[in-house]
Amino acid sequence: MLKNTKFAGEPLEILLVEDNEDHAELIGRSFEKHQVLNKLKLVRDGAEALDYLFRRNRYSDPATSPRPHIILLDLRLPKVDGLEVLSQIKESEMLNRIPIVVLTSSKANGDINKAYAHHVNSYLVKPVDFNKFTELMKDLGFYWLGWNQQSGGPE
- Quick one: pLDDT band at residue 28, thresholds 50, 70, 90? confident
Report how far residue 33's alpha carbon sits from residue 29's, in angstroms, rounded to the nearest whole number.
Answer: 6
Given a cut of 50, whether residue 4 has pLDDT beyond it is: no
DSSP assignment of 80-148 equals S-HHHHHHHHHH-TTTTTS-EEEEES---HHHHHHHHHTT-SEEEEPPSSHHHHHHHHHHHHIIIIIIP
**pLDDT tens string 99-135:** 999 999 899 999 999 999 999 999 989 888 888 887 8
What pTM was computed for the model? 0.84
Q: Are strands 122-125 and 100-104 parallel, antiparallel or unpaired?
A: parallel
